[in-house]
Structure 1
Amino acid sequence: MASARSTKKFLFETLEILIFAFILSWGLRSTVVAAVNVPSGSMLPTIQLQDRLVVDKLSFKLTEINRGDVIVFRPLTSVDSSGDFWIKRVIGLPGDKVEIKDGEVFINDHALTESYEMEKPNYTYGPLMIPKDSYFVLGDNRNNSLDSHYWGVLPAENVVGRALFRYWPLDHFGLLAK
């Protein structure tokens, strides 16, 4: 009889642990962190195809998004209604003037120094003043990225979080370069 009670107690405690773990996991994933898989080459060479990243969903709500941050966001529904997250680098902030010409990106009439870009852009864009609560985002693989030079500014409300570090593949584990 004691054996049956201890078995029931064990099963009940195991069920409690599993429910708690599920609730904790769901709570963390919905508010603090997310894991994303990168399906495209738009962020080459910084992020490779099929890299897996951890996204910080909390700190950008407490601190400002900065130029150079790699962010994860929900794309405009007019561009992609799949529900998948996209990832790009923040180039222009609210109030900035952005222009792309002669293979350079200009912010407020000053050329950016961008060690992370794969190649110089072979297109022109702007000038454009970025409205309040919006960002101008570009892929590091400038000529092969569906980004703000194609569809315009990204509303701040679409930002999910900052890409923090790569956890897969293991030989590339670490923080993302800014």
Structure 2
Amino acid sequence: MIPTFTEGDRILIDKGKTPKRYELVTLDPLKKPKESYIKRVIGIPNDTIKIDKNTLYLETEDNKIVTVTLDASVANELKGLEKIPKNNYFVMGDNRNHSNDSRSFGLVSIKQIEGVAFFRYYPLNRIGLIQ
């Protein structure tokens, strides 16, 4: 998540908050026990999506189109969907060239989301609300 976060940053999360677009969430990556990822919410339930080969076109409520390349397995998994299903999210890391995110592991269920990040308390020189 560089430059937003660096290794060793400590944050607080709101476990009861429903994630909104562009908020940062921590999540259980399922296939990696005892790990937690932090990612930015790009797609929310009911966003319109279209898959063309390995390309995802995601249309937001303000008519912005996000275009990303997916792993073949994820493209296959999402094929036939017209909208992001209820209780599912498309997340991406801020360091897009080096991020393991929805492009490689698919949609994230609300059950995987641990909470919405809202405050960094360490290191002290970067303390403050998270944008």
Superposition TM-score tier, normalisation by shorter sequence: 0.7 to 0.9
Amino acid at match of 1:73: L
**Aligned residue number for residue 149 of structure 1:** 103
Separation in 1 of the partners of 2:45 and 2:94?
A: 20
TM-superposed CA distance for 1:98, in Å, is: 4.4
Percent identity at matched positions?
39
**Aligned residue number for residue 55 of structure 1:** 13
Q: What is the CA deviation profile of residues 116-149 of structure 1, one whole-angstrom value per residue up to 9, with x for unaligned ones?
A: xxxxx9x623686322211000000011000000
Separation in 2 of the partners of 1:70 and 1:99?
A: 24
Amino acid at match of 1:158: Q
Instruction: Compare the two structures and name the one with the higher strand fraction.
Output: 2
Amino acid at match of 1:55: I
> 1:124 and 2:69 equivalent?
yes
Separation in 2 of the partners of 1:175 and 1:136?
A: 23
Separation in 1 of the partners of 2:117 and 2:64?
A: 26
TM-score with structure 2 length normalisation? 0.76
Which secondary structure state, in structure 2, belongs to the residue aligned with residue 132 of structure 1?
Answer: coil
TM-superposed CA distance for 1:73, in Å, is: 1.2
Instruction: Compare the two structures and name the one with the higher helix fraction.
Output: 1
Rate the CA distance shift 1:174–1:150 in 2: closer, same or farther, 3 A.
Answer: same
TM-superposed CA distance for 1:107, in Å, is: 3.1
Question: 1:53–1:165: 8 Å Cα contact kept in structure 2?
Answer: yes
Which secondary structure state, in structure 1, belongs to the residue aligned with residue 8 of structure 2?
Answer: coil
Q: What is the CA deviation profile of residues 82-131 of structure 1, one whole-angstrom value per residue up to 9, with x for unaligned ones?
A: 2222110100001213479xxxx85316235xxxxxxxx9x623686322
- Count of aligned residue pairs for this structure pair: 116
Separation in 2 of the partners of 1:99 and 1:149?
A: 14
TM-score with structure 1 length normalisation? 0.57
Separation in 2 of the partners of 1:98 and 1:151?
A: 17
* RCO comparison, higher one (Cα < 8 Å, 6+): 2
Q: What is the CA deviation profile of residues 6-56 of structure 1, one whole-angstrom value per residue up to 9, with x for unaligned ones?
A: xxxxxxxxxxxxxxxxxxxxxxxxxxxxxxxxxxxxx11111121111112
In structure 2, stretches of 5+ residues that fail to align are none
Rate the CA distance shift 1:98–1:44 in 2: closer, same or farther, 3 A.
Answer: farther
Separation in 2 of the partners of 1:163 and 1:98?
A: 26
Amino acid at match of 1:90: V
**Aligned residue number for residue 73 of structure 1:** 27
